[in-house]
A and B are shown apart, each in its own frame.
Chain A
């Protein structure tokens, strides 16, 4: 029973990692109706920037918020410089740009910061584990941060006019433009916000998994699965999906099929869900009249 509790908590902790990255994926999808494959690499780059600031002597939280701003600017610049020229191109062109960015950012990060594994500090310090050795302070703290970001995203999209304008720009650019929304800037804003959320995810993930240029490569796959499971157009669905993937994967690995097949089982369950509910567990079913 003790082992079960351990596995469950460990699953929730890794699920929190997936959830925070899934949230960034949902953000960019809400704002642009694209899934950015380079999201993880952009987050890794942001995390390295944060580490550089911390090593230069800035206090953690100053570096944290400075990284948010820098990441926002990088995200917005990527939209302005790279995505703007191809905005009317077919979707395959966008996929090409995303994959190109993934490779370029990943290699550039390795070239600038080196490939050595590095420790990343956490603001939630504790000696050993809490609650009878079940969970670390960092795991609790980062889960709280993920939930806080989720609430902010929800409030932003549901209760601010800027959020409404962004949703309109993504959903129906032409009508949005007709009612006076500056669609181009809304897209840049969406990219910036997604990059900022990604950087939060990176800074919360790095203390747990250690920082290197390929840190997000595997995580992005699981996060993507979590986002699809919960519904890619629903922030809270994506977060719940992320947690579910983490827990399912751990319990299946420990009790059902062994560690070798745990990833397979988690993905099979997800495919099963998507066959029955293509828009995800919590996704909105969209009808369009033709």
Chain B
């Protein structure tokens, strides 16, 4: 006889079943396939980044042609979220609950990944190597199933602060940051390095994304007598700040977030000659830099592009990014051996020994430890010379916190 109790027990057993399945029958993994999911903005405002998915799909195709991983082919499923957080959640649930992927990889965007951060951690599904620079993905204690990849804005700010301390130990620092998660990462990074000296050394001004200009903030920071200016703002305000600082005759050592240093969208609108001396940072090899014309790593990348993405734009640095993050993912899969349970995939993602990547600057390593999810923590500074960016100095590592 069917009673409510037997029904309840039966449904309870179904729900519990995946948890007691042996590792060989891990979700998304069969004898000859590993299913991996992703979301990207294939349409909508951020669709310029969709080429990252194109690059990753091609890398998995190359891997499959070489025989796959542990005898298994990679089935990489990418859905479009149009950079809209509710759709990211919908598509991620579809990946996890219907397609039953083993894990998701390189989902694009900060607001979009925010929407699935808790979900992935509650369901204990690895949420790997996200395409966003927010600092919050490196929080293994509270969110052990999520990990970013590129240097976070906070690490970037730490690197600027370290360079300031090295070159101008008695600097008076002015910090302009946007009053949101992105901008506050810069505040936190500078504070990490300066510690108790922060209050005496730093004067802070903020701007809202809706402000028409940051002129008032620049004037205020100049009046504080600072000789160093660090800016964590989006491209429009970056161009305004560069122009204003130049026009009022202030000549600080000026750092700009590497989000806002595009030649076309920032340096040209601001006036190329106004930005001379501006400092930013990068962790990738710039494919237009003649220094890498005969570089072994970049040649490996060019060969891959020629064979697997023949229509790709070789000037688009999303492809060097994609190649780097794809290499990291393949390394983790190879480390897994024959155990593709979610627990082991996450364990391997958190234990990458320092490794070089073809498209990253020499000295910049990809590495993880179970208590440190900042996958890339080193960058090299570069300076604007009026026509282009010139690298200088050694690779600098973020603060150990």
Contact = CB atoms under 8 A, between A and B. Distances in A.
B211 interface: yes
Contacts of A191: none
A117 B265 contact: yes
Interface string B187-204: 000000000000000000
Contact of B215 (A10, A117, A133, A221): A10
A67 interface: no
A interface: dominant SS? helix
Interface of A: 2-3, 6-7, 10-11, 13-14, 17-18, 110, 115-119, 128-129, 133, 136, 205, 208-210, 212, 217-219, 221-222, 249-250, 253-254, 258-260, 263
B269 A129 contact: no
B266 A117 contact: yes
Contact of A17 (B212, B216, B265): B212
B54 interface: no
Given A208-B213, A249-B216, 10 more contacts: A17-B212, A17-B213, A129-B248, A209-B236, A218-B209, A218-B210, A250-B216, A254-B219, A259-B205, A259-B220
A210 B179 contact: no
19 contacts: A3-B219, A3-B223, A6-B223, A7-B216, A7-B219, A14-B216, A17-B212, A116-B265, A117-B235, A117-B269, A208-B213, A209-B236, A210-B236, A210-B240, A210-B269, A217-B210, A258-B205, A259-B206, A259-B216
Closest CB pairs A-B (n = 5) = A218-B210, A119-B269, A3-B223, A6-B219, A250-B216
Contacts of B266: 117
Interface in B315-344: none
B139 interface: no
A150 to B, nearest CB: 20
A102 B75 CA distance: 42
Contacts of A259: 205-207, 216-217, 220
Interface residues of B, number: 30
A209 B211 CA distance: 10
A116 B45 CA distance: 11
B212 A218 contact: yes
Interface in B250-283: 264-266, 268-270
B220 A3 contact: yes
B181 interface: no
B248 A133 contact: yes
A221 B249 contact: no
Contacts of B223: 2-3, 6
B265 A128 contact: no
A110 B215 CA distance: 26
B230 interface: no
B220 A254 contact: yes
Interface in B41-75: 45
A222 B240 CA distance: 19
Contacts of A6: 219, 223, 248
B90 interface: no
B247 to A, nearest CB: 5
Contact of A119 (B210, B217, B220, B268): B268
Given A7-B216, A136-B247, A218-B210, A209 B269 contact: no
Contacts of A258: 205
A133 B206 contact: no
Interface of B: 45, 179, 205-213, 215-217, 219-220, 223, 235-236, 239-240, 247-249, 264-266, 268-270
B339 to A, nearest CB: 45
A10 B217 CA distance: 10
B236 A212 contact: yes
Contacts of B247: 128-129, 133, 136
Nearest to A212: B236
B216 A253 contact: yes
A19 to B, nearest CB: 12
Given A117-B266, A119-B269, A10 B216 contact: yes
B220 A117 contact: no
Nearest to A3: B223
B178 to A, nearest CB: 11
Contacts of B248: 6, 129, 133
Given A210-B236, A259-B205, A110 B212 contact: no
A54 to B, nearest CB: 14
A116 B212 contact: no
A218 B223 CA distance: 26
Contact of B211 (A7, A118, A218): A218
A129 B250 CA distance: 12
Nearest to A11: B216
Given A133-B248, A210-B240, A7 B220 contact: yes
Contacts of B215: 10, 13-14
Nearest to B239: A210
Contacts of B210: 217-218, 221, 263
Given A133-B248, A133-B249, A117 B239 contact: yes
Nearest to B234: A117
A117 to B, nearest CB: 5
A209 B205 contact: no
Contacts of A210: 236, 239-240, 269
A80 B76 CA distance: 51
Identify which of B215, B235, B247, B248 gathers the most chain A CB atoms within 10 Å of its CB. Answer: B215
Given A6-B223, A218-B209, A260-B179, A117 B45 contact: no
A209 B212 contact: yes
A209 B213 contact: yes
Contacts of A129: 247-248
B109 to A, nearest CB: 15
Identify which of B45, B205, B213, B239 gathers the most chain A CB atoms within 10 Å of its CB. Answer: B213
A15 to B, nearest CB: 10
Nearest to A217: B210
Contacts of B264: 116
B219 A263 contact: no
B208 A263 contact: yes
B46 to A, nearest CB: 9
